[in-house]
Every structure is written in structure tokens, then in C-alpha cells.
Structure 1
């Protein structure tokens, strides 16, 4: 028994792979193109682990995906691979259309061909698990109920539109071809190995460097925050017991404004790494809001709790403390990401 994980060297994917092999001896094959946000160093702990196989490659490469499915015959494909940074999607949407839409289509077709050749028993047990985002639902007003699985799709950025398209493809391949799929739509993740262009790691890294802490607009945009290993445990639960064809929203029950997030990070740094110049809040700077900035996201995660008994183990207070401490404990990882030296990791790991 094996699972195939796409995007397994990225932030969420690598945390999932590490968590999976902590809780299971079932082998993992990781496929990742190692674009800017893919970092094989995230999986360094598995370098000599026979249960893990890493393959550098593109999910749009149908021949490679076919080869991996035929060679390893996984019982499930867990699909994390995606371009995911909204700001980058605004300045360069093409990569998002290719990876998130064309890549998902390629995986679905390869999975369908592989699944069609299985025995009836193996067909019934096989899964295509598509990992998506709450951003496909659009923006909520302050008084609106959190997103449920039945909310209308109203994506507002090239990123969220591309993920919405991929969700629709997954649904269509199930209803048209019978491919056994499950989809999870998660809220904002945070935790170890988060690429420092996203809000929380950017604030930590900039604060420690004495740089400005840029906040879009008035800082009152609201997000629900999910600790990344809680997300990993939710995916395990859905992969194990989720109903075929269903969507499950995964959230942390932690709605907070961006400004509150930054103040929380500053308070932890003031405690754990005090600066002689004073509180890190002195570095907070307001900048022009980005185009189409959704005001509020919130996840109603009652369905996954009701059907599968899953709830997050971390509160925001416990998760953010672990996250800040991880960045304080791993300055070399941060430095290599900032310098681009992490890209040399493949050569270092696989040199003859």
C-alpha cells in the first residue's frame, strides 16, 4: 500500500508527508516540480527513510504521472500541488492557470486511466483527494455565516478562480466518469516551513531583521487560521472515512483580523526575542491595499466533525506560539530560503 502526494515539498504538502510518516508506515511517493515555493529541504528528515520516494517533476507531465501510477500503484493520490499566492496571481496569472487547472486535469485523466484498470475491489478503495481553499467561495460580510460546503462559488482573484476551476473539474470527473474523489477546502494555514512571503512568516522574518511589517489597507481583513498539522490530520480523516464525491470544509475556528495577527506575533517576539529598540509593533506599516482583496473568510467545519469526528487540536494561541518558536529555532532554513540557496538542496541531496 502506497500513496502518491503531489506538491509534497511545499508548505502544506511537506507537513502532510512528515505527519503521515509519523503516524503510519505506509510509504509515500512525493511528486514536486520544486518551483520557487517547493523546498526539498522541508523533507530533509526523510532523506534516509525507505518509506519515502521523492520524484522531481511536473504534474502537467502526463507520461511521468502515468509512469508513477503504473510503477508504484498507489491506493490514493493526494493532490496539494498548486500555485497559491494571491499577490503573485495578480501580477502573473498564467502560471496559476497552467498548474492549478491544466495540472489538475492531467492528474485526473491519468488517475482515471489507472483506476479504470483496477479490480472492482481496488476501484472501490481507490481515492483522488483534491486539496483546495476557502477562497473559492469569495468574500463574507462581517455578519454573514461562515462558508459551508453548499456556498456558491464566487472567486475574486486569479488564484481563487483557478482553484475553483480545479474543484469543478474534480467534481465533473466523479459525476461523469465515476472516479472516486473527495475534496477538502481549507482556511489559511500557518506553521513550520511556510514560505516567507505569506503574512505570518513574513511578519516574523521582517521583525527579526528590523524591517517594516507591511499591512494591507486598514488591517481589518479577517481570515480563519488553521495550524498546518491539524490540516494534515483532517486530510487523513477524510481520506480514511470521507464519503466519495463529497466536499469537506476544514477550518481552525480562529477568525482574526490581519492586524490582530501581527500584534500577536509582535507580542510573542517581544517575549521570546526582545529587541533593545522596543516593541516590534513600532515596525507596523500600512500600505496600499491589493486589488480585489477579500474582506473576510470563515469556515464552518461542522460537517467534518459530525461525520468524521475531526476537530483541530491546536488553538490559535498554542499554534502561533509553536510557529514563532520554530522560526526562531530555524534561522538557517529562513536564510537559505531568503537567499535562494535552498534551490541547491536537490543537488546536495542527490549528488553522486
Structure 2
């Protein structure tokens, strides 16, 4: 990207956000290497899908610092803002995998809504001069085939817990912009793909399954489509918005590449040199699984507002996919450690633990866990109500004994 037309920003700190994931790590690397006079802070919880490998190339750079912390903990956020005199926040941090949101929606609300609230309130108190909130095209909801692409002024109509949490976060952003005049910009992007992405998302997951000679796991009939933007193009888009975008605006990052899940299967099988033209070939390579409770058929956004700032998509899907496959073939099995459970249908995440759906269903329920904790390893015959009653009686008895 030609940066000669950009103003010579002299702010000390350029970015804080949970950035050891993808695409934030791409943007952190870009800012650190392209703008040596910017001081970049990567703030990350190091959750299940994060790895310091993604920014290892920046170790030793004087304008890069890593800070571990959690955006849902105000003390963590305020500590970093004060310590580094941060003036600009890029808020990438989110629970973002739609499949997980159906089974673990509380965590999505906590991170995506409450975490955003913490960042906004901390920014207000600290005096942030620019806050760029990264959202998603999924907040618009399903777009019928043949319908016009949606602009930034279109109504939000999310259909799953993930997109609902991102839409709720946007409402919080809007409120802080209006009530406190916080200098905010919102970005809604199509699906991002490329090297370094945790293999819970469809493209890296399929690549890793093929690497292991396993079948591709396709939800439903494979017909839903998504528009894909290569990570390098996302970096250019965010750079453009950062240096040329206007405070208070919303920008779509929109791709022209709309690809169905079935098409992704065919393209990857072709790259791997595996036959896929007959139904028999596909039966050997693809396994159709249950669909999501609800699966939007397509998203479609209009990117003309961002194009007017000078951004355009440079990497077409086929070229980006080949580059992505090459990276995962070389590094995919060692980058994150054991990813076997991630490569199953509908894995379940709790904290930093990842389970297969079957393993998680076999775990004791919360009530069973409480009873086991109370009784030890012996079989507990009590219901939760009976246990509560028993505990209350024991407490009353202890109080009565202390009186006598």
C-alpha cells in the first residue's frame, strides 16, 4: 500500500486489542513493520484459539509490546492504557465462531458485549483519541438470493447468538459515540481467510482434515455462501480506514468472491489433487453432518463507501486459497499444538478446554458436579433441591449450637 499520502501521525501508541488470533495478528505485524514510529501494544487473553507464534516475528522490535490481559476485566484494561499512554484502540477481541455460539452463548455475550462495554468505559475515562471497533457482516442477517447488497445504513437483523452479541456490542458503541462523543469508527467485514487462522473456521479446518486424509465435514447440504476477503486485503482496508476514515462512520469491507461451502470442498480437493467430479468421489471425501440450528444462506454487503477512500480488493479467492493451503501444509500441525478435537463436528469450548461434542455430552451436568463435590467420589442420591435443603438445615444447626 502507498502510505505517502497519509498524514505523519505522531501518536505514541497505535493499537490495543486482543491480537494473537487472525486477522488481528496480521494487522499488528503490518503496523509494527510499516510504521516504526508507532508503538504497538498487542493485548491478548491467550484464549484457546490464540498463540504467540503469530507475532513471534516481532520479538525484539522496540516499537512492539505484548501484554496479556482480559478485556472483561476493567483493571487489566486500565492498567495497560495507563502504562503505555495508549491513544488509539483497535478492538478485534471477540468470541467469533458461530458454531460454538449455539452451545456456549453466555461466553459470547460476556466477551463480545460486556468486554466491549469495559473497553468503551475505560476509553472514556482514559481519553482515547480514536477507537476502531471491528464488527461483522453477520449483524445484517440473511440476504436473499438476488437481493441488493446491503449498505452501512441497512437495518441489523442478526439470527444467531454470535451475530446477536456483535450487534449488541455495536449498540453499545453507538451509545458511547452519542452520549460521550467517543471518537469511534465501526468496521463490518466479510469472512476473512488466510495463513495463521485457528482451524475452527471452515477453510483451515478443511485443509487440516485433508492433510490428515480425513473426510471434509460439511454442515447441512453445503449450499450456504459467504463472501471471503484475504487477510492481506483486510490489512490494507483497515490501514485505509485508520488513516482516511472519518470519526463516527461505519465501513463495510466487502469482497466480490461469494463461495458456497460445497465450492470450497471442490476447490480444496482440486488443489490436493484428489478426484471430486463424481458422486462416488465426493462420498469418499465429504461427510454431510447435521446443520446449525439456523444457518443464514448468504450475506451480501456493499463496499462502495470504503472504495471511495481508495481501497480495493487485490487478492482473488483462488490465489489466496492456494497461498493459504501452502502455509497450512508447512506449519498447520505444529502451530497450535494438538488440534484433533477442533477438527470434529461442533466442538465445544469451555475456557481453554476443547471437547468433542460427544465428550462434552458425556460430562457430568452442573448439578451432578455440585453433588460430587459435596459427597466426594461416592454416589450422591440427592437432588439439587434436597442438597440445598440439607445444607440450610446444617447451617441452622451450627448456628443453634453456637448459641448454646
Fold in common (TM above 0.5): yes
Question: d(CA) in 2 for partners of 1:152 and 1:189?
Answer: 23
1:75-154 matched pairs, under 5 angstroms = 75-115=87-127, 126-154=129-157
Q: Does 1:178 align with 2:189?
A: no
Q: Is residue 138–residue 156 contact of structure 1 (8 Å, CA) maintained in 2?
A: yes
Deviation at 1:232, TM superposition (A): 1.4
Question: d(CA) in 1 for partners of 2:229 and 2:45?
Answer: 25
Rg larger for: 2
| Corresponding residue for residue 118 of structure 1 | none
| Corresponding residue for residue 316 of structure 2 | 315
Q: Is residue 5–residue 13 contact of structure 1 (8 Å, CA) maintained in 2?
A: no
| Corresponding residue for residue 288 of structure 1 | 290
Change (3 A) 1:202 1:280: farther
Deviation at 1:3, TM superposition (A): 1.8
Q: Is residue 266–residue 281 contact of structure 1 (8 Å, CA) maintained in 2?
A: no
| Corresponding residue for residue 337 of structure 2 | 336
Deviation at 1:296, TM superposition (A): 0.5
Q: Is residue 304–residue 310 contact of structure 1 (8 Å, CA) maintained in 2?
A: yes
Question: d(CA) in 2 for partners of 1:145 and 1:100?
Answer: 29
Deviation at 1:334, TM superposition (A): 4.5
Q: Which ranges in structure 1 are unaligned for 5 or more consecutive residues?
A: 116-122, 272-277, 344-352
Structure 1 vs Structure 2 CA RMSD? 2.0
| Corresponding residue for residue 346 of structure 1 | none
Deviation at 1:110, TM superposition (A): 0.5
| Corresponding residue for residue 27 of structure 1 | 39
| Corresponding residue for residue 301 of structure 1 | 303
Aligned pair count reads 327
SS at match of 1:74: coil
SS at match of 1:54: strand
Deviation at 1:5, TM superposition (A): 2.4
Q: Is residue 19–residue 229 contact of structure 1 (8 Å, CA) maintained in 2?
A: no
Q: Does 1:160 align with 2:171?
A: no
| Corresponding residue for residue 374 of structure 2 | none
Deviation at 1:287, TM superposition (A): 1.4
Q: Is residue 51–residue 336 contact of structure 2 (8 Å, CA) maintained in 1?
A: no
List, as ranges, runs of 4+ consecutive aligned residues in structure 1 with deviation greater than 2 Å: 278-282, 331-335
Deviations 1:6-36 (A, max 9, x none): 1110111111111222322112101111111
Deviation at 1:282, TM superposition (A): 3.4
Deviations 1:79-115 (A, max 9, x none): 0000001111100101101100000000000001111
| Corresponding residue for residue 191 of structure 1 | 194
Q: Which ranges in structure 2 are unaligned for 5 or more consecutive residues?
A: 1-11, 275-279, 342-351, 353-404
Change (3 A) 1:287 1:242: same
Deviation at 1:191, TM superposition (A): 0.4
Question: d(CA) in 2 for partners of 1:136 and 1:238?
Answer: 20
Change (3 A) 1:173 1:337: farther
SS at match of 1:6: coil
Q: Does 1:36 align with 2:38?
A: no
Larger helix fraction of residues: 1
SS at match of 2:16: strand
SS at match of 1:184: strand
| Corresponding residue for residue 13 of structure 1 | 24
1:50-61 matched pairs, under 5 angstroms = 50-61=62-73
Change (3 A) 1:51 1:313: same
Q: Is residue 207–residue 280 contact of structure 1 (8 Å, CA) maintained in 2?
A: no
Question: d(CA) in 2 for partners of 1:142 and 1:334?
Answer: 38
Deviation at 1:75, TM superposition (A): 2.6
